[in-house]
Structure 1
Amino acid sequence: MKKTVEIIGAPCAFGQRKLGVNMGPNAMRYAGLVERIEGTELTVEDKGNIASPAIDMKKYRGEQEGGLRNLEEVTEFCETLCDEVDQTIQSGKFPLVIGGDHSIAMGTIAGVKRHYDNLGVIWYDAHGDLNIADSSPSGNIHGMPLRALIGEGHPDLVNIGGYQNKVKTENIVLIGMRDLDAGEKKYIREAGIKTYTMADIDKLGMQKVIDETIDYLKGTDGVHLSLDVDALDPVETPGTGTCVPGGITYRESHLAMEMLHDANIITSMELVEVNPLIDINNKTADQAVGLLGSFFGETLL
């Protein structure tokens, strides 16, 4: 891992319908994010939050148009984020993007992919985020970013960054799945995406899941980690917009982060969906910062 971590705040709330997730980056800073990473003897530079389009509350709360809610705003935000991530990598630093809802992954990975020919992606989440407009029951774009990164969906989303097909299906590992729409299940089966459901984690244990993931992605030239806090059980992370019971434990997630740190395969990362407005005493931001501490090499002794 590069010695300098550059934090990019991505306060996007347009990919779903719960305001407050745009406050997630600052909630994590308040929870001691910078100090926690500095404690691992890495250098930290915080670029602050990137600019976001203004929120029109009538439109934000209204019905979606054409099956895609706030398409223009999500696209604009992700284009800006793409350029910021690109600049961070060009400068030789490790990009840590903190969100914000999961639609920002389209911008993050568009910026990352400019620097890798065969990028791998670990999608640590309760959801597959593999919908398109026709299969989405909500029209929320935070349920669509991975499908768009593969190259399917609305052209505005697919072509963020000025190009498409950022990720190959054979270079994706889904970890923590427990809430998939019917269209997503069908797509995962047909595309053959490597998937670990919660049942798989229960049977195999997190250590084997991460060992197998590392081995599976060994042919890639870089690996992006996209971590949605709703991958964890809502008892652990209550401040997130799409809670699903029966998730990964906090301890299992620490182990996953520790193993990924030791493997030294992750070349970029984002952490998303922290929403302090629906949290309890900033608990979810605290938990998120703890996981990032483990990922960046924090040890007990």
Structure 2
Amino acid sequence: MEQIVRVIGAPTDYGANRRGVDMGPSAIRYAGLADQLRAAGVEPVEAGDIRAPYAEECDPETRSLRTGTARFFDETKAVCTQLAETVESALAAGELPVVLGGDHSVAIGSVSGSAAASPIGAIWFDAHADLNTPSTSPSGNIHGMPLAALLGIGEFGELEWATAPNLREENVVLVGLRSADEAERALLEERDLTVLTMSDIDRRGITAVVDDALEAATDGVDEIHVSLDLDWLDPTAAPGVGTPVRGGVTYREAHAAMEQVAARSAIRSLDLVEVNPTLDRSNETAELATELAASALGKRIL
């Protein structure tokens, strides 16, 4: 029976400094996502977009926690709560949710929904650690906090909506990390997450690193969530992102990683986030997102 993929848009730019990433879902769809998914042997079904008011309609300085600042906190909570319910419903119907961001804060909703019913691992393909909290974040931007939220770190430990059930930090893996704040580095030394940096990829190659990531993420669980931030790639391959960091993976390394994930694990859910068409060249980053989604879901050269 053909796998049904439920495509869910989360058009937010609440979590970022630079505007435009809320147009990411439209750009990815326009770039041919449905055709790429069919080429991977799955059948896409559109769920439309989660309702997300424009940032101009909201109060950016919402301070809903006792310490620190989380910009657009209430709006992010509303979007992620809706998204978690939508992802959970898709899984209950036997569908595989593919979430189109939006900034990376939407992963709070997608992972929470995916982890609601049973244990899950998570692989974070990202240039950044995403482990800040409102009290440690230099900017207050929630797109730098989703992993901290999902793991209940810091102030997030008090927020049931933000914390993913059935996600152990031992099953969380960061791949391709090359930018972390001081507080995040200290946290990574204390916690049990697996961190595989760009230096590891340089020394050992993408295949060996992704092998290690899959082993850690699937230890004791049957399925994983893949969160793919397009700034994981080098800006020469993916220019349309809000927080580019030089020295990322190449086009071919990214495809090899996704193909390996598809071959050696069961993906329960997938994020494609941080595509910003206002910073892109001819929609090439959105097109790359569609290709990588297809590779992650089984598309092969032969």
| TM beyond 0.5 | yes
- Which residue number in structure 1 is paired with residue 69 of structure 2? 67
Q: Is the 8 A contact 1:174 1:194 kept in 2?
A: yes
- Which residue number in structure 1 is paired with residue 130 of structure 2? 129
**Cα separation, 2, equivalents of 1:154 and 1:107:** 17
**Cα separation, 2, equivalents of 1:156 and 1:74:** 17
SS at match of 1:97: strand
Q: Is the 8 A contact 2:148 2:156 kept in 1?
A: no
1:138 is the counterpart of 2:143? no
Aligned-pair CA distance for 1:2: 6.9
**Cα separation, 1, equivalents of 2:2 and 2:181:** 38
Aligned-pair CA distance for 1:155: 4.6
SS at match of 1:82: helix
Count how many residue pairs are aligned between Structure 1 and Structure 2.
297
Q: In the TM superposition, what whole-angstrom CA distance separates every residue of 1:123-144 from its partner, at most 9, and x where no partner exists?
A: 1100010011121111100000
CA spacing shift, 1:2–1:156, aligned 2, 3 Å: farther
**Cα separation, 1, equivalents of 2:168 and 2:157:** 19
Q: In the TM superposition, what whole-angstrom CA distance separates every residue of 1:128-184 from its partner, at most 9, and x where no partner exists?
A: 1001112111110000010110012445983217x6555221111100100000010
Q: Is the 8 A contact 2:62 2:73 kept in 1?
A: no
Counterpart amino acid of 1:44? P
**Cα separation, 1, equivalents of 2:251 and 2:158:** 32
| Structure 1 unaligned regions, length at least 5 | none
**Cα separation, 2, equivalents of 1:276 and 1:28:** 9
SS at match of 1:67: coil
Alignment of 1:113-262 (within 5 A): 113-116=115-118, 118-155=119-156, 158-160=159-161, 166-216=166-216, 217-262=218-263
| Structure 2 unaligned regions, length at least 5 | none
Q: CA RMSD in A?
A: 1.9
- Which residue number in structure 2 is paired with residue 99 of structure 1? 101
- Which residue number in structure 2 is paired with residue 7 of structure 1? 7
Q: Is the 8 A contact 1:10 1:99 kept in 2?
A: yes
Aligned-pair CA distance for 1:293: 1.8
After TM superposition, the score normalised by the length of structure 2 is 0.93
**Cα separation, 2, equivalents of 1:32 and 1:294:** 14
SS at match of 2:214: helix
SS at match of 2:55: coil
CA spacing shift, 1:97–1:2, aligned 2, 3 Å: farther
Counting aligned pairs with the same residue, the percent is 41
Q: Is the 8 A contact 1:78 1:107 kept in 2?
A: yes
Counterpart amino acid of 1:75? K
- Which residue number in structure 2 is paired with residue 53 of structure 1? 53
Q: Structure 1 residue aligned with 2:80, among 64, 74, 78? A: 78
**Cα separation, 2, equivalents of 1:128 and 1:46:** 31
CA spacing shift, 1:204–1:2, aligned 2, 3 Å: farther
Aligned-pair CA distance for 1:278: 1.1
Counterpart amino acid of 2:86? E
Counterpart amino acid of 2:276? N
**Cα separation, 1, equivalents of 2:148 and 2:85:** 21
- Which residue number in structure 1 is paired with residue 90 of structure 2? 88
SS at match of 2:228: strand
Q: Is the 8 A contact 2:149 2:157 kept in 1?
A: no
Aligned-pair CA distance for 1:208: 0.4
**Cα separation, 1, equivalents of 2:137 and 2:42:** 41
Which segment is superposed worse, 45-54 or 1-10? 1-10
Aligned-pair CA distance for 1:8: 0.4
